[in-house]
Amino acid sequence: MLFSRKKKNVLNGAWEERGVIGTRIEIDAPHITVLWRNAPVLETTFSEVPEDGGTLLVLKACGLRYADSEKDYATLTRLFYRDGKLETVKDFPITGEDRETLEKTEHSRFGDYTIVDERLGELRGEWKDEQGIFTLSFSGDRLTANGRTIRIHLLHANRESGDRLKIADADPSRYEVLDYGQMEYLAGKIIARPMIFDAPPVELIFHKV
């Protein structure tokens, strides 16, 4: 999401609960996007009403709904800003109210990473694991494995000074990369960890063919 510079508003920007991967809110007043684990569940507009030394955000729509669902799973009943914090109240049909306190973040939907897609060319071509069983094929921003293709980004962790890069699905709500729970590019090799749930973790090393 790109944030407009036309209107300076303390609400504008991204908001997350510190240390939690869950609710994220992106505001470019009067537009607001509410996300759950980086998947948008509400996109609407809002107006601002002064209240109790802060600002109440009155949403045009307040139902939270997954993209593949036909009905809301919860309602965002209150969104209130005061003293640098955004307080939310959600009402769930079964469990009732849930409260969260969000703070401004500089993180993108991918977290504390910088997108470095200018290096995607280094991956172009076919890669084989050291046992010659598995194949990865890269072309531009697309990765193909086991007959499936996705778009990807290359990410560099802002907290690291090294050259390790994360290969991530271009959809930040997908935390896996096809059949792999994690995939990294380092020193001319790709290190991938298949998603295995009933055995010890396995690490595969891929080299370009």
Answer yes or no: do 195 and 147 share one domain: yes
Q: Which residue, 85, 105, 125, sits at the end of a domain?
A: 105
| Residue 189 pLDDT > 90 | yes
Q: How far apart are CA 119 and CA 11, in angstroms?
A: 34
Q: What is the pLDDT of residues 28-84, one digit of tens each?
A: 999 999 999 999 999 999 999 999 999 999 999 999 999 999 999 999 999 999 999
Answer yes or no: do 129 and 188 share one domain: yes
Q: Write down the pLDDT at residue 2.
A: 44
In a domain, residue 48? The reply is yes
Answer yes or no: do 75 and 117 share one domain: no
Q: What is the pLDDT of residues 94-119, one digit of tens each?
A: 999 999 999 999 999 999 999 999 99
Long-range Cβ contacts of 158-161 (<8 Å, 24+ apart): 158/112, 158/113, 158/114, 159/112
Residue type, 51: E
In a domain, residue 148? The reply is yes
Answer yes or no: do 46 and 122 share one domain: no
Answer yes or no: do 172 and 147 share one domain: yes
Answer yes or no: do 123 and 181 share one domain: yes
In a domain, residue 56? The reply is yes
Three-class DSSP category at 67:
coil
Q: Which domain holds residue 73?
A: 13-105
Domains: count for the chain: 2
Answer yes or no: do 60 and 120 share one domain: no
In a domain, residue 187? The reply is yes
pLDDT band at 140 (very low <50, low <70, confident <90, very high): very high
Answer yes or no: do 172 and 122 share one domain: yes
